[in-house]
Structure 1
């Protein structure tokens, strides 16, 4: 079992270090709000991953296979949420004030930062597919449901370490000074990135409904 866990964890960590909505959310919080906010966003992402592993252990892959429409709904909701964040960021870049990721003059509470991390991950259908695939691999390797559930703390810890590290890097003095100088450009880049991801998800969802 430990060998299976190790192989799975390596694959998960490699996936976590690559750019995506989770990294964008953490980086945005670090640049606009600082290390503490970024840490709580990372904690929110890790919490959502714990939820995904729990759901996967109790049949997420089976549910998605039996009810594929659920994935379509997730694409629409998740894409819509990412597009909402993107629009806020692009509007801030256009106006040159109240940056969406910096939250203007309003300091994020720990709960607000944690909630953003949770929502970004839970509304991402790619997370559902990834953890469904992970569950399928674990079950296919002979693990029982409790043993698959036992991977949840590892998924949680890896996300907290990976995204927490990104939070530290992006909240450094150099990164924050660069953000302060090029805030509008950074906001626009974040907005375009989230918009591209969210727009594709929504388009995919609409396409699946049309078929």
Structure 2
């Protein structure tokens, strides 16, 4: 059991350290200098990730991945949403530390964007399906699977907390804010590219 847990944690850590839509979104929010919106974005991402974990534990993700029509719908939604986020980032203007970045409406938008970015990302679905089906034995008890999922979620929280602390370290956050417009353009281009790549892979 300990070997399985260790393997799951290592694979999840490597997956999180690989740059993807979630990390791009967090860095983009971090460049605004508003900790509240960045934190809300991370909370949204973690909510989506925990939902994926529960789906994987109870085998729903495997059913979705094996249902061609349903999985295609998820992929199209994910690709479309990444492109939407990319265009939005590309068109956005630099914002300083004012009320527009720290208000409750902005915080709710950040949470929702983080949630949908992770929840509609088909690669997260595929990653967790592959991880649980290849590493966790089919006859493993549900309680053990839930323990694995909870441990992975805790690891993800720790990694995101460390990333946020790093983003808001003095010199880095100053650099991010000074280059916010460039970060918006770069992150927008990457998100549109990722969404387009998913769309091309489906065709």
Which residue does 1:63 correspond to in 2?
A: 63
- The 5 A counterparts of 1:91-102 are 91-92=91-92, 97=93
Which residue does 1:154 correspond to in 2?
A: 151
Which 10-residue stretch deviates more, 174-183 or 15-24? 174-183
Which residue does 1:135 correspond to in 2?
A: 132
* Aligned length, in residue pairs: 201
Which 10-residue stretch deviates more, 195-204 or 38-47? 38-47
Where does the alignment leave 5 or more consecutive residues of structure 1 unmatched?
none
Distance 1:65 1:52, change over 3 A: closer
After TM superposition, give the deviation of residue 164 of structure 1 in Å. Answer: 2.1
Q: Does 1:165 align with 2:162?
A: yes
Matches of 1:17 and 1:145 in 2, distance apart?
A: 28
Q: Does 1:186 align with 2:183?
A: yes
The alignment partner of 1:105 has SS state of helix
TM-score normalised by L of structure 2? 0.86
Which 10-residue stretch deviates more, 131-140 or 22-31? 131-140
Instruction: Say if 2:32 and 2:101, in contact at 8 Å, map to a contact too.
Output: no
Which 10-residue stretch deviates more, 1-10 or 80-89? 1-10
Instruction: Say if 2:78 and 2:120, in contact at 8 Å, map to a contact too.
Output: yes
Matches of 2:65 and 2:75 in 1, distance apart?
A: 15
Matches of 1:62 and 1:19 in 2, distance apart?
A: 25
Which residue does 1:19 correspond to in 2?
A: 19
After TM superposition, give the deviation of residue 117 of structure 1 in Å. Answer: 1.8
Which 10-residue stretch deviates more, 187-196 or 145-154? 145-154
Instruction: Say if 2:26 and 2:41, in contact at 8 Å, map to a contact too.
Output: yes
Matches of 2:114 and 2:77 in 1, distance apart?
A: 16
Which residue does 1:7 correspond to in 2?
A: 7
After TM superposition, give the deviation of residue 72 of structure 1 in Å. Answer: 1.5
Where does the alignment leave 5 or more consecutive residues of structure 2 unmatched?
none
CA RMSD of aligned residues (A): 2.4
After TM superposition, give the deviation of residue 171 of structure 1 in Å. Answer: 2.3
Which 10-residue stretch deviates more, 5-14 or 111-120? 111-120
Distance 1:175 1:14, change over 3 A: same
1:48-80, CA deviations, whole angstroms, 9 ceiling, x for partnerless residues? 221111111111353135312222111111111
Q: After TM superposition, what 4+ stretches of structure 1 lie above 4 angstroms from structure 2? A: none
Matches of 1:154 and 1:111 in 2, distance apart?
A: 27
TM-score normalised by L of structure 1? 0.84
Which residue does 1:123 correspond to in 2?
A: 120
